Structure 1
Amino acid sequence: MSLTLTKTDKDFVYSKVTLMDFKPVSMERVLVSFLARLRNNGNTSTVIRREGVELTIPGLVEEYLNNPELFEGFQEHKEVVLSWFETHLVDIVNRGKKNAALASPRPLHGYVYRFRNAKYSKVYGIDRQLYELLSSAGREGQLALSSLRAFFFPEEDPMTGAATHQSSLVDVETETLQYLKDQVKRDTASRDRELNFKPLCHVAPKLLAEDISRLLAYRNHVPRSVMVEYLVTLLGFHLGLYLLRMIHVVPRMVEARGDLSPCGHGERCHCHPSMLVDVAGLPKTSMARLAQRSMQDHIDQIPVFVRANFAARKLEDYAAQLRKTRGLTLESLSDVLRLSHEQFTADREGYFQNRLGRLLDDQPEDDLPPEQHRLLQLANTNMDKYLELIVFERSDYHRKFVHQAIDSFFFKNSASALIAQPSGIGAPRRFVLGGRILEVLLQIMLLKPGGQAGFHTAPLRFTELLDELRERYGIFIDRLPEDLGDASVSDHAALRGNIDAMKVRLRELGFYRDLSDASATQFVTPRYTVAKTGHSKGAA
């Protein structure tokens, strides 16, 4: 018989760790929701649409067909227009089924959030997490937010929001979606921003912001729809990296009882993740098994993170009582975790004795199932006993959703994948390097500061690329991460094959040039040229 847990017992999301719930999501839907926050300085929107505008695909199509002066020739081809909407302009849930429904237009223009169907576009606070990460990144974050506003709202000044009448829209899809803004009577900001969020990692937000600014340096070189796909991929990738950082650093902070700084303020981040990727993407090879081991190290940490996050969250509940009774203000996660020090023992034990007593009101300790009874016998404090019961009841639930959140952010089994998992129950996950994420990271790393766009492209030696992937993102290709131990002879052979596979992938994508077998003459070259001065060029 399970214990009856209250909402307070179950509370898991903790804003001093993250603002997001851990659930599987579509990153394109996250971007649509994020656009409202982008326009409203971190707040969402309350939108009142014009009467008669339906949040269905046929309803949106009717809007266009009723405006022949704007969209000439559409009226004679209603079925074609409907098919065009379904395949190019909108995101559909349950596509191909009887219960298919509109989630939102695709995020080709900033105003599409006004036609987001919240019922089918749940994002679980991930849009808020993304905005606050960028906001916390100082000057780099403000530059990234300004660049995103200029890209998604090209007819508005990115700083003031005033109309500039200088739209850079060039494709019919974006122009069509841009028209949607005229179907809204009122769009007001909802004051729901999390102003006190401070990320545990100081390096990750700056890296996210810099990557966004770098990627947008190509906005005049690639089609708008491609740039949106790049951004969706990049945002998911960085959210995944941030989650990996959290599942490792939060348990360490809890164990240190607040006496551990989670992240260095210099160039090297103390919670830097490491991922050994299988570049060839072939299952059942030596390299695939090594990539599985690397992935498993993170998977094994998830239950540890779930317990640590519960511990931190329940200490926050205790901190809330101390704010009322003692006027004690605890700003950071480290401050809250210091409540586990000896000086608070008596008061803390009394608080958790009451929580434990309420939990066991309907089921005395002696009547608990053997596993829970044994956990209580092994626990030394009332807080530990309370935590053990909560974790026993809720760990599997949260562990599953943390798994799925990581899969979502890393686009499992897709063109943007950093994770692959064969079909079948219990099949092992492994780190891979999908074509789209590789292309996005290459575009970013082939830029250097300086030039009219803020950056300019420059070739990179192949060996430098491997170093940059490892140091910047924790992506290992040519060597084992430290946590996998020393490489055996067979491991070295697998890693050499991984390097060769990387060269093949770079050639396929059009980024690789080797003049000889000498490493000094093997270069990764830009596909597009963003010049220091003068005019930039298209594909090289």
Structure 2
Amino acid sequence: MTPKLDKKETVFRNQYIFACDAKAVNLDNTLINLFMLMRNNGAKIKLKLRSTHHTIDELVNRVFVQEQLGNIHGVKENMDAVKAWLRSNLTNMVFRGNMVKENVSSLRPMHIEAYRIRNMKYIRDYNSSDQVYLMLSKQPNVLKSLKQYLSLGWDEGSRQIINNKQLDVDTVGILHLIGGIEVDMRVATSISRIRPLLEEQADLFCDDIRRLLIYKEVIPRSVFIDYLKTLIGFHLSLYFQKLIHLLPKMIEAGTRNIEDDWSIVVDVTDNLSSNISEIACKDMERTLNGLSAYIKATMEVNAVMMRPEYLAGDFDSIDKMLSEIKNRTEKFEAYYESKYADILARFSDDEESTATEYRKQLNDYLKYEKSYFDRYVQCVFMLKGNYQYRYSHDFIDKVSMKNQENAFMADGRSRKHPRRAVIGSGLLEVLVQLLVLEPENDTYQSKPLSIEELIGKIRTRYGIIIDGTNEERFKNTDVQTHLAFKENKEAFKNKLRQIGFYNDLSDAYILQKIRPRY
């Protein structure tokens, strides 16, 4: 028999640490909910609709109404084509192709107003959009610029489509669909405006978005949205992996101002049995093995946040809490002695002797903990830790876009090929587009890069190791490790050739450059 936790003790998510729930996140859902937050300045709103469930047939009727208003022509004569267009180009669906379970989840995230048509049952993002919005809010000018681009073609005042050459036919179709849907701001709730715990990581994300916006005039809107989704997934994965590594260190140091020494080796060979795969798998295993320490560290912060003096909550209190965990006072310990006694008192059974036996077993299990605070946290960890550990793997897999074209993680079907960090072709294309840009007079200019320069930028900027021969931790390794990194570097060149960024047509080293597309 296990003791029961109260409602506050069962809550793991802490927006001061990481706003997402550990769940299998759909990045399209993240984008749709992010657009809602951006459009309404952080507010989560409801819509004025008689029916809250959208279907393809209902969307076809909306298109037909637009034809009657004179905004669209040829709908009545081509109903099958319109239906196919809605299904394939304009909507996200769950259980696509399953005639029994198939349902519309939302419109595709092509415009900031796309959130107006969504089925709440299928659009959950487990607060991942909250985390992205908090990171974007770190630099309001970047958030404003992204919002302006995503709002192109729609005038909220007149609720009319504005002619804009940048809008493709799919985006215009989405704007026609949402034309008659109104927002009820009276029921709005807003997310808290707080600074992300890893402020430098949030600044890096904002800088990547700023660089992406440089391309807004030259790449198609659909490509821009795909790049945006890839960046969001990539940075959520980076942020979470760094938290796993750094939060326990913050607890130990008693401050969040610690060195960011996180790094990870990536396998870019697309071969699950490559020489570099063993090194990459060990690096990812090290990260995932740190999950237990991260979960326990989060529970320690949560335990301190329950104290009366921290109930109001503000970001600066994080520093006080970390310091208090490291430098505990008698008053601090007395509070958790009381909390631990409350847990013991929650054992209930028809026979008091049985409840007493359960209490004894729990005390025996926790007797090696040094303090009542440690006992209390370990008790909560014992009851809730396994759940968080299991679903944290699902979260990392999803935001890392595992085994997809734009993947930051890959694995095989058997235990022989465990998880390892990779750079998929789609992700590499996005990173190269961003890294060929150099700051120049308050803007950016694209410039050619050598292979070594690109590898160095990826290492310095993101902590991602492609060629580790110059890394301190691989300084005294064997020849096989050096050969593995050499193979990885050659595979990196081949991948750049495949996506059209690298053509070594000359033996002259100076001519072997990564050429910007724009």
Same fold (TM over 0.5): yes
**Aligned residue number for residue 152 of structure 1:** 150
Say which SS state the counterpart of residue 110 (structure 2) adopts.
Answer: coil
**Aligned residue number for residue 67 of structure 1:** 66
**Aligned residue number for residue 343 of structure 2:** 356
* Structure 2 residue 396 is the aligned partner of structure 1 residue 409: no
CA distance in 2, matches of 1:86, 1:240: 30
**Aligned residue number for residue 481 of structure 2:** 491
- The answer (yes or no) to whether the contact 2:340–2:375 under 8 Å persists in 1 is no
**Aligned residue number for residue 31 of structure 1:** 31
Say which SS state the counterpart of residue 455 (structure 1) adopts.
Answer: strand
CA distance 1:18–1:323, change in 2 (3 Å): closer
Which shows bigger deviation, 112-121 or 5-14?
A: 5-14
How many residues are matched?
Answer: 508
* Structure 2 residue 352 is the aligned partner of structure 1 residue 367: no
Which shows bigger deviation, 104-113 or 168-177?
A: 168-177
RMSD over equivalenced CA pairs, Å = 2.8
Unaligned runs of 5+ in 2: none
How far apart are residue 427 of structure 1 and its match? 5.1
CA distance 1:165–1:248, change in 2 (3 Å): same
Over residues 53-78 of structure 1, what are the superposed CA-to-partner deviations in whole Å (9 max), with x where a residue is unaligned? 85112111111023322221122222
- The answer (yes or no) to whether the contact 1:411–1:417 under 8 Å persists in 2 is yes
* Structure 2 residue 509 is the aligned partner of structure 1 residue 522: no
Q: 332, 335, 360: which one pairs with 2:317?
A: 332
- The answer (yes or no) to whether the contact 2:66–2:176 under 8 Å persists in 1 is no
AA aligned opposite 2:260: C
- The answer (yes or no) to whether the contact 1:44–1:189 under 8 Å persists in 2 is no
**Aligned residue number for residue 264 of structure 2:** 275
**Aligned residue number for residue 220 of structure 2:** 223
Say which SS state the counterpart of residue 104 (structure 1) adopts.
Answer: strand
Which shows bigger deviation, 183-192 or 396-405?
A: 183-192
CA distance in 1, matches of 2:356, 2:463: 46
How far apart are residue 504 of structure 1 and its match? 0.6
CA distance in 2, matches of 1:389, 1:161: 57
How far apart are residue 520 of structure 1 and its match? 3.9
AA aligned opposite 1:129: Q
Over residues 294-347 of structure 1, what are the superposed CA-to-partner deviations in whole Å (9 max), with x where a residue is unaligned? 1111111111101111111111112xx2458xx998842221133332323443
CA distance in 2, matches of 1:196, 1:108: 26
* Structure 2 residue 56 is the aligned partner of structure 1 residue 57: yes
CA distance 1:262–1:356, change in 2 (3 Å): farther
Which shows bigger deviation, 421-430 or 59-68?
A: 421-430
CA distance in 2, matches of 1:196, 1:190: 19
How far apart are residue 155 of structure 1 and its match? 3.4
**Aligned residue number for residue 170 of structure 2:** 173
Q: 441, 454, 475: which one pairs with 2:464?
A: 475
CA distance 1:523–1:474, change in 2 (3 Å): same
CA distance 1:87–1:248, change in 2 (3 Å): same
**Aligned residue number for residue 286 of structure 2:** 297
Over residues 103-158 of structure 1, what are the superposed CA-to-partner deviations in whole Å (9 max), with x where a residue is unaligned? 1000111111011212101111111111111112xxxx223212211221113689
Aligned ranges 1:359-398 → 2 under 5 Å: 359-360=346-347, 364=355, 366-367=357-358, 372=362, 374-398=364-388
Q: 189, 192, 198: which one pairs with 1:192?
A: 189
AA aligned opposite 1:15: Q
How far apart are residue 375 of structure 1 and its match? 2.8
**Aligned residue number for residue 435 of structure 2:** 445
How far apart are residue 348 of structure 1 and its match? 3.0
AA aligned opposite 1:464: E
- The answer (yes or no) to whether the contact 1:244–1:298 under 8 Å persists in 2 is yes
Between the aligned residues of both structures, percent identity stands at 28
- The answer (yes or no) to whether the contact 2:134–2:193 under 8 Å persists in 1 is no
CA distance in 1, matches of 2:287, 2:344: 35
CA distance 1:155–1:125, change in 2 (3 Å): same
Say which SS state the counterpart of residue 182 (structure 2) adopts.
Answer: strand
CA distance 1:177–1:482, change in 2 (3 Å): farther
How far apart are residue 282 of structure 1 and its match? 0.3
CA distance in 1, matches of 2:315, 2:162: 48
AA aligned opposite 1:107: P
How far apart are residue 234 of structure 1 and its match? 0.4
CA distance 1:63–1:425, change in 2 (3 Å): farther
How far apart are residue 190 of structure 1 and its match? 5.3
CA distance in 2, matches of 1:198, 1:358: 38
Q: 100, 103, 122: which one pairs with 1:101?
A: 103
**Aligned residue number for residue 342 of structure 1:** 328
CA distance in 2, matches of 1:93, 1:193: 28
TM-score, with length taken from structure 2 = 0.91
- The answer (yes or no) to whether the contact 1:12–1:313 under 8 Å persists in 2 is yes
Which shows bigger deviation, 393-402 or 65-74?
A: 65-74
Unaligned runs of 5+ in 1: 264-269, 530-540
AA aligned opposite 1:10: T
CA distance 1:424–1:189, change in 2 (3 Å): farther
